[in-house]
Amino acid sequence: MHILLTRPLEDSEELILKFRDLGHKVSHMPVIQIEKVEYEKINFLDYKAIIFTSANALKFLDTILNHFFFQFGKEEF
User: Using one digit for the tens of pLDDT, what is the confidence trace for 35-50?
Assistant: 888 888 888 788 887 7
Structural domain span for residue 50:
2-59
- pLDDT at residue 49, rounded to an integer: 78
Tell me how far the alpha carbon of residue 75 is from its chain's centroid: 8
- pLDDT at residue 23, rounded to an integer: 97
Global confidence as pTM:
0.58
Identify whether 73 is part of a domain: no
Identify whether 52 is part of a domain: yes
Residue type, 62: D
Total structural domains within the chain: 1
Of the pLDDT bands very low, low, confident and very high (cuts 50, 70, 90), residue 70 is: low
Under 8 Å CB-to-CB from 16, ≥6 apart: which residues? 5, 26, 28
Identify whether 76 is part of a domain: no
36 touches 58 (CB < 8 A): no
Q: Which conformational region is residue 11 in: left (phi greater than 0), alpha (psi within -120 to 50 degrees), or beta?
A: alpha
